[in-house]
Amino acid sequence: MNVRKYGPFLVGLDLGTTGAKAGVIDGSGAIVSSSFVTYKTSVPFPGWAEQDPSEWWRAATRSVRTAVDSSGVAIGSITGIGVSGQMHGSVFLDDSGEVVRPCILWCDQRTSSQCEWINRTVGTELLAKWTGNPALPGFTAPKILWLEENEPESYRRVRHILLPKDYINMRLSGITATEVSDASGTLLFDVRSRRWSAPMLDALRIPAEWLPPVLESGDMIGGLSSEAAEATGLMEGTPVAAGGADNACGALGMGVLSPGRIAVSTGSSGTVLAPTNAPMEDPEMRLHSFCHAVPGTWYLMGVMLSAGLALRWFRDELGEPETSLAQARGVDPYDLLIDTASGAPAGSEGLTFLPYLTGERTPHADADARGVLFGLDLTKKRSHVLRAVVEGITFGLKDSITIMREMDVPLYEVVAGGGGSRSRFWRQVQADVFELPIISAGTSDAAMLGAGLLGGVASGVWSSPTEACNATSSYGERLEPEPDSFAAYRAAYERYRGLYPALKSEFARTAQ
């Protein structure tokens, strides 16, 4: 089938947790071609998660080259490249730019004691003032302290600290830099003023010269180096954008730029992102406050660590019937799992699932929390369990929306993205639980698209990220909430909310 392509063309690259996905994007925002290349996560000890940055580079260059080669687009027509990346990871470099040790990832939980020290030494009041965010194990700053305490020889070699996508940008352009959306997740950044926090760096004894210059997301870092051009198949000198954090780029790709419209994504993790025209902080520090990829805008974000990951756990450990049937029919096993879930009534007749399989971030910030299936009896069927899993994930997302409503953040419409948004049934559950209309994102690769749009801003295709979104945004089906379901979901959500406080002490005792 011939697809009409509209120039100019751009490359978007999303450096995710499981692999790098690159795509060639045309001037209408359509993804002409894409390629995904995986890499491994190392788990040296329980709760740890590390990756080799050289593997990112291998996967990134291979995915870009494959996407470009399969696009049928002349490389001279590709005007820019932008990179989106997993947040919070710590890439330590020596004075020659060589990687000192594997990157400690966003999901790594080893730094609990360093976070406790930061909270005790700096205090939540100054953390809010200096960074707008609490000290959490996934953030970058406590990882630097961990390295100093536990690997002093490596720490003494450190001269530069980059975030994952900034390492790729350095390999692409030869220039070290970061930008506001990713820097916001380091706990070293003054989100309000969009610059590094000098008092925070002083308090943690981290040299300011280790951190790169900070740009806006659509700024141009530099041109593609000759080595990177050879590796990717692109032309030397192609503009490289500063890029953005995966969530900021995802919101850009979903057209979520201004207050009122929020982005809900159900990938492996789950996020709820609400743009704001001024920096806002949750008084209880349950939500993150970050800079958006659009100059002069910010966003509040809640994160649940196991969203689609919880459903994947069910598929892998308990989903053999659906998996076998899907293989026989040549369909996706997730589609059959969701079909099974739809056979139970709203609220799962009292069965409640807590999706804390890897701890939780919002609203509890508890690495010890664990998954729970509560309310089993002899009347419950497989459909009840699966629906409880879907509803539990959705209730976890609603926790963030509830906090946003408490803060009077404008909320009138949800754009749904991520793998979970492919299911119409699940989108309707979200609409009914959130009591908000939901429209599906026009692409399942929103972060990659957002990164490509930033490449277009950096290369002058568009004057701003807002103009880029206005020129390219598209959406799928719109679903209205069904009031007949509200009572059942409100009661089920209250059961859900009551379980964590009742079990918190047991979670802590089990973790000892």
Homologous superfamily (CATH) for 308-407+484-511: ATPase, nucleotide binding domain (3.30.420.40)
Work out the average pLDDT over 448-452: 97
Q: Say how far residue 143 (Cα) sits from the centre of its chain.
A: 19
Using a pLDDT cut of 90, give the percent of the chain over it.
Answer: 89
Write down the pLDDT at residue 4.
Answer: 54
For residue 244, is pLDDT > 50? Answer: yes
Is there a shared CATH topology between the 88-162+178-211 domain and the 308-407+484-511 domain?
yes
Residue whose tokens read 């664990």: 370
Could you give the dihedral angle defined by the CA atoms of residues 205, 206, 209 and 212, in that order, rounded to the nearest 10 degrees?
A: -150
**Amino acid at position 396, single letter:** G
What's the confidence (pLDDT) of residue 15?
A: 97
> CB–CB of 169/13 below 8 Å?
no
Angle between helices 446-458 and 465-472 (to 10 degrees): 120
Residue 174 DSSP SS3: coil
In the residue annotation, 366 being an active-site residue is answered as no
The predicted pLDDT at position 1 comes to 39
Q: Out of 127-141, 165-179, 181-195, 212-226, which region has the weakest mean confidence (pLDDT)?
A: 127-141
Say how far apart CA 391 and CA 495 lie, in whole Å. Answer: 12
Q: How far apart are CA 77 and CA 232, in angstroms?
A: 15
Amino acid making up residue 49 = A
Which residues, at least 6 apart from 419, have a Cβ–Cβ distance to it below 8 Å? 266, 267, 308, 334, 444
**DSSP labels, 411-466:** EEEEEEESGGGG-HHHHHHHHHHHTS-EEEES-S-HHHHHHHHHHHHHTTSSSSHH
Give the domain ranges of the chain: 88-162+178-211, 308-407+484-511
State the Cα–Cα distance between residues 131 and 141, nearest whole angstrom: 11
Catalytic residue among 14, 246, 432, 445: 246
CATH topology of domain 88-162+178-211: Nucleotidyltransferase; domain 5 (3.30.420)
Give mean pLDDT, residues 246-254.
95
